[in-house]
Structure formats: structure tokens, C-alpha cells
């Protein structure tokens, strides 16, 4: 478990290794030492990805190991803003596969959440 990502708020792990992959639980835009979310989709997206990076680092992995992400948006109208920040972390030529869906609600009333799958090899 990474102390640099928020602790789980329920009965789940930040990430679990299995079958050559690490399955990372969804991260919202909250710093590890904060109770409040970052303000706005862009800031939440950046923090969520930084949280994923922190969990990956515990397994000596980086964002380069990520093979799939799923982005959950409270409002699909925020796609462009989220995508602009996302593109700063994942190069278009080597970006992981991704799904983006709109959902009815997210933990802590977040604007977005990202989960990921990373390869151990």
C-alpha cells in the first residue's frame, strides 16, 4: 500500500498483483493527506493520475507499465478537459487502451475517477 495515495475508504486494496498484472483500484482527485477533493475536473484528473503513479511505484512500476485505464466521469461534457490533462501523462503513441464512461455518481461526489491495469513484465 502506498502512503502517498489516499487510503481506501472501504474493504478494498489500492492494487492487487495477479497473473502478471497489477489491477489498480479507482483513484479520485484527492491527495493522500487531504480530506477534500481537488477543485475541478482538471485538478482531479491530475491528482488521480498522481495517485495511480504512487501505487505503481510501490511495485517498482511507472505509468509506462499501464496497459488499460477506465475513466469514469460524472459528466461527459468534461471529457475534453479530462483528456487534456490525461494526455500530459500518457503519450499518444504509447498510451494504454482506455474506456471512458459517464456514471450517475462517484465516491466523495468526485467529478471523475480512474482505474488502471499495469503489466508487471
Describe the strand order of the beta sheet including 112-119 as a list of residue ranges: 15-18, 21-27, 112-119, 66-73, 97-102
Answer whether 0.85 is exceeded by the pTM.
Answer: yes
For the chain, 121 residues long, the average pLDDT of each consecutive 10-residue run is 81 92 96 93 98 96 97 98 97 93 96 98 82
Cβ–Cβ < 8 Å for 21, 68: no
In this structure, are residues 77 and 41 in contact, taking their beta carbons and an 8 Å threshold?
A: no
Three-class SS state of 9: coil
Note the pLDDT of residue 70: 98
Characterize 37-51 residue by residue with b for buried, 16 or more Cβ atoms within 10 angstroms of its Cβ, and e for exposed.
Answer: bbeebbebbbbbbbb
For position 47, what pLDDT does the model report?
A: 97
Task: Identify the structural domains of the chain with CATH numbers, from first to last.
Answer: 21-119 (3.30.1330.40)
Amino acid at each position: 500500500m502506498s502512503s502517498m495515495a489516499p487510503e481506501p475508504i472501504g474493504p478494498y486494496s489500492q492494487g492487487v498483483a495477479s497473473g502478471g498484472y497489477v489491477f489498480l483500484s479507482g483513484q479520485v482527485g484527492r491527495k493522500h493527506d487531504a480530506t477534500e477533493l481537488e477543485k475541478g475536473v482538471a485538478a482531479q484528473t491530475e491528482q488521480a493520475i498522481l495517485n495511480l503513479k504512487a501505487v505503481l511505484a510501490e511495485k517498482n512500476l511507472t505509468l509506462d507499465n499501464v496497459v488499460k485505464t477506465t475513466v469514469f466521469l460524472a459528466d461527459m461534457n468534461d471529457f475534453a478537459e479530462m483528456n487534456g490533462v490525461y494526455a500530459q501523462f500518457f503519450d499518444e503513441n504509447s498510451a494504454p487502451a482506455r474506456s471512458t464512461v459517464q456514471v450517475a455518481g462517484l465516491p466523495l461526489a468526485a467529478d471523475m475517477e480512474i482505474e488502471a491495469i499495469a503489466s508487471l513484465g
